[in-house]
Chain A
Amino acid sequence: MRGSRLSKWVIVVPMAALAIATIYPLLFTTNVAMKTQREYILDRFSVSSSLRWDNLSSAWVNGGMARYFVNSLIVVTAAVALLLIIGSMAGFALSHVRFRGSRALFLGCLAALFVPFQVIMVPLARTMADSGLIDTYPGLILAYVAQFLPFTIYLMTSYYTRIPTEIVDAARIDGNSLYGVYRRIMLPMGLPALLSVGVLNALFCWNDVLIALLMMPSPEHRTLMVGVTSLRGQYTADVPTFASGVLIAAIPVLVIYLFLQRQIADGVTAGSTKG
């Protein structure tokens, strides 16, 4: 690139400011989580005098974060597993198997993508209450699966459409049942897409507040995100403990982002450019 030294600075300075603005709140939270309450009140910005884990353990044990963490883990794991199984099967069926109404079914999925959750939340809550699924793990898991299934099916179908029909036909001629084709061809070939969709769904479910709040009213069933909020009420004055709770909730997400950036970017940008 040509360009004078000045024009280089015009780019570098705002970019650096953006980078700092992005990373700083996280550093701040980590730092505060290590401080004592006294240290925080005296000086909010000073670097913590030592690595202190008291706040973390107090949020984990006394604040109930351990319980919330397990709740989140159960629900997210089950929901993502179900989503991937149903999504990949449906994607295969909608892209390579001709059956009556398959087109209508795919269009139905597309239409469901455009319906925001807020519109269906009242009937959903009533249905769940009437069927006794409210405040149970299966209830929340089903709600997540229902909410994110259209997106999953849509992405899997468009991915599988790119796999040539000849491969499926060849496998069929070699004597595979439909399930055999799914098991031996579609699952292994769909792995990159499944990973992308799985990671995105895990993040969606993990970060969700609204559905969890609606489906799990009782305190012992709170997911991590709802739990963090209740922690705020509990530790209004004790900012370091609250910061520790926030950190506990953020760490899994950060780990996922760190190791699976590629998949997340692929999933997010699917459909944003040609081809």
Chain B
Amino acid sequence: MIIGAIFNMLLSVDGPLNAVLGAVGIDPVDWLGDSSVAIFSVVGVHIWATFGMGLVVFLSGFATLDAALLDAARVDGASTPQMIRHVIVPGLSRTIQFAFVTTMIGMLTSMFGLLFVMTSGGPGGSTYLPEYYIWIQQGQMNRPALASAASTVLFLVMLVVGLAQIAILRRGLKEE
């Protein structure tokens, strides 16, 4: 949220990012006001904001990797790509699944703050997400029936996603 506010300044038309681009001869881009660019700006900021948490998760994952296993692979003459493919990725499978699931949930449910601050759903509704739509209908337009219908649809979508996640986690647990 705070991040959204900060990037609001950085990405404004006469803001610093465009000033830098202008210095190297690129025309200013209306990062948040252009309907074909705005959604990518918001997603980019979201990635920037959650990147650190992902890093922490992977750091703690790497800490659990067995160093002896890595050494053994080295001694057996594994190249770096082979090490990554056959030792590191399988060793981190649980971490990767965790990061995958939490990132997906984060994307689906916690973008409201960013949207609200950065674009307010605009321009022209190009950055509406389901949650933002529900909030508009309920809070601003006072159309609870429509908002409830949208909630129900979202719930069904999330149910499918959630079941898929549980299936993936189950499979991951069996592999151990």
Contacts and interface: CB of A to CB of B under 8 A. Distances in A.
Interface of A: 18, 21-22, 25-26, 28-29, 32, 44-45, 114-123, 125-126, 207-210, 213-214, 217, 225, 228-229, 232, 239, 242-243, 245-246, 249-250, 253, 265, 268-269, 271-275
A121 B139 CA distance: 10
18 contacts: A22-B51, A26-B6, A28-B16, A32-B9, A114-B158, A117-B109, A118-B109, A121-B134, A122-B138, A122-B147, A207-B1, A210-B116, A213-B116, A213-B139, A229-B117, A232-B117, A249-B1, A269-B56
Contacts of A120: 151
A122 B149 CA distance: 10
A21 B57 contact: no
B14 to A, nearest CB: 9
A95 B164 CA distance: 28
Interface stretch (B34-42, B82-90, B92-100): B92-100
A72 to B, nearest CB: 12
A29 B8 CA distance: 11
Given A45-B16, A122-B147, A125-B139, A228 B158 contact: no
Contacts of A114: 158, 162
Contact of A207 (B2, B16, B99, B162): B2
A210 B112 contact: yes
Given A118-B154, A250-B2, A29 B9 contact: yes
B108 interface: yes
Nearest to A274: B94
B122 to A, nearest CB: 14
Nearest to B156: A119
Contacts of B5: 228-229, 232, 242, 245-246, 249
Interface of A is mostly: helix
B112 to A, nearest CB: 4
Given A44-B16, A274-B64, A116 B108 contact: yes
A44 B144 contact: no
Nearest to B15: A44
A274 B176 contact: yes
Given A119-B151, A217-B139, A268-B57, 14 more contacts: A21-B48, A44-B15, A114-B158, A117-B109, A119-B154, A121-B138, A122-B144, A125-B138, A125-B139, A209-B113, A214-B139, A232-B117, A245-B5, A269-B57
Given A229-B117, A272-B57, A118 B151 contact: yes
Contacts of B176: 274
Nearest to A117: B109
A243 B131 contact: no
Contact of A228 (B2, B56, B57, B130): B2
A115 B5 CA distance: 28
A265 B135 CA distance: 32
Interface of B: 1-3, 5-10, 15-16, 19, 48, 51-53, 56-57, 60-61, 64, 94-95, 98-99, 105, 108-109, 112-113, 116-117, 130-131, 134-135, 138-139, 144, 147-148, 151-152, 154-155, 158, 162, 176
A273 B61 contact: yes
Contacts of B158: 114-116, 119
A272 B148 contact: no
A250 B2 CA distance: 6
A219 to B, nearest CB: 15
Nearest to A217: B139
A63 to B, nearest CB: 13
Q: Considering the complex of A and B, which 6 residue pairs feature the smallest CB-CB distances, nearest first?
A: A272-B98, A118-B131, A209-B113, A119-B155, A116-B109, A269-B60
Nearest to B8: A232
B140 to A, nearest CB: 10
Contacts of B1: 207-209, 225, 228, 249
Contacts of A265: 56, 60
Contacts of A125: 138-139
B2, B56, B116 interface centre (most CB from chain A within 10 Å): B2
Contacts of B51: 18, 22
